[in-house]
Amino acid sequence: MKEIFLLKLGEIVLKGANKRQFESRLRQNVRRRMKKFGEFDVYIMQSTVYVEPKDELADVDGAWEACRTIFGVVSLCRCRPCEKNLDAIFEAIENYLGDDLDCAKSFKVESKRSDKAFPMTSIQLSQEIGGRLAEAHPGVAVDVHHPDYTVYVEVRDFAAYVHGPAEPGAGGLPTGVGGRAMCLLSGGIDSPVAAYMIAKRGVEIEAVHFFSYPYTSQLAKDKVVELARLVAKYSGKMTVNVVPFTEIQEAIRDNCPEEYFTLVMRRFMMEISQRIARHDGCGALITGENLGQVASQTMEAMTVTGAVVDMPIFMPLVGMDKEEIVTIARKIGTLETSILPYEDCCTVFTPKHPKTKPTLGQLLNAEKNLDREALMERALAGVEKIKVAGDDEALL
């Protein structure tokens, strides 16, 4: 029989009356992600998603890689189904896992019997299959406590399934069960990680990027679009809203005290982002802010920059160490792109001595010579919308 995937559900199994809604969304997401790789049957039974290729034309390896990045799946394994009897199970293990067993120093068999009509208990099944494998592979020791390799047998409703150790999945909740949010996406390390972390909670992601040409280059813009594409590998396709920001930054430079440049700029970013978010049906903003990391990320600074919006602001990195953030960026594949030397608008007109403990009154006074509404309206009129998707998903 052909190879299939078993995707094990994570915290979805803890849901109550709305569990089926989460499962339905996950099944839809898996089906969508499989389309590029051929025809697959996707169905859920006993807190497991079955992904089964319908024919030999399916790209099984490509589909497997895609499954590893689907939120809602805590672990996954490639397995071989077989009939629910001892001879068929042993033969499937020999054909499917025999080479892996020969490369191991020791092994054990771990069985799970979901089909209670099967005549043997899980322990009895493990003992019987383990004994047969020990005879077939005399050079591999049996070690039930600390084995080098574990053979898994799952007796389920339709068939028995044999596989080696499972791999960790993306975890989290299925994309789409948590609403939609707008991420302020810069070209740095932090904001792509913030987008990924909120997407992991089932939130659909949109992005907004502030572009200050000619102070920032086309390469900087391309870098941000690539970061969005890398995040979309996990979150699903998204739109990047590129906001022309040059006029606003020049107005701040010409009309505001230097120590408030960054804070005033951040207030414009937050309010413009909220307006785009509301238009696009988003219920929250996401930022990569990290408490104390830079001058504009003190408690007082974050208070005044957030004061211009009234929707929730998600800051998943706020209490993390930089090394923790870098570790996640490396894991999801955004780090190498983030460290490319193309600066974003946050580096334009940076004050030498930024204000670290501002009050709202001080910011309102610093902005008094700006026509904020007119500046924002012109920026919003020039927004460019760029659609991006991960490698395994079509834009349309």
C-alpha–C-alpha distance, residues 255 and 261, integer Å: 10
In this predicted model, which residue has the larger pLDDT, 392 or 166?
166
Q: What is the pLDDT of residues 124-134, one digit of tens each?
A: 999 999 999 99
Task: Give the lowest-confidence range in 151-160, 186-195, 294-303.
Answer: 294-303
What's the confidence (pLDDT) of residue 343? 75
Specify the 3-state DSSP secondary structure of 105: coil
DSSP for 60-103?
HHHHHHHHTT-TTEEEEEEEEEE-SSHHHHHHHHHHHHHHHHHT
The model's confidence at residue 393, banded by pLDDT at 50, 70 and 90, is low
* Cβ-based neighbour number of residue 306 at 10 Å: 17
Cβ-contact 173, 202 below 8 angstroms? yes
Mean pLDDT of 306-311: 96
Cβ-contact 210, 306 below 8 angstroms? no
The model's confidence at residue 396, banded by pLDDT at 50, 70 and 90, is very low
Helix (H) / strand (E) element for 168: namely strand 167-168
Instruction: Establish how many alpha carbons lie within 13 A of residue 149's alpha carbon, considering only the half-sphere containing its beta carbon.
Output: 21
In the predicted model, what is the mean pLDDT of the chain? Answer: 94
What's the confidence (pLDDT) of residue 395? 52
pLDDT for 94 beyond 80: yes
What's the confidence (pLDDT) of residue 351? 80
Q: Which residues pair with 160 in a beta bridge?
A: 82, 155
Cβ-contact 130, 110 below 8 angstroms? no
Q: What is the pLDDT of residues 228-260, one digit of tens each?
A: 999 999 999 999 999 999 999 999 999 999 999
Percent of the chain at pLDDT exceeding 90: 85
pLDDT for 391 beyond 80: no
Q: What is the pLDDT of residues 357-370, one digit of tens each?
A: 999 999 999 999 99
Q: What is the pLDDT of residues 255-278, one digit of tens each?
A: 999 999 999 999 999 999 999 999
What's the confidence (pLDDT) of residue 296? 80
Percent of the chain at pLDDT exceeding 70: 98
Mean pLDDT of 80-99: 96
pLDDT for 348 beyond 80: no
Q: What is the pLDDT of residues 200-210, one digit of tens each?
A: 999 999 999 99
Q: What is the pLDDT of residues 2-48, one digit of tens each?
A: 899 999 998 898 888 889 999 999 999 999 999 999 999 999 998 89
In this predicted model, which residue has the larger pLDDT, 49 or 341?
49
pLDDT for 295 beyond 80: no
Q: Which residues pair with 48 in a beta bridge?
A: 8, 45
Phi, psi of 269 (to 5 degrees): -60, -45
What's the confidence (pLDDT) of residue 1? 59
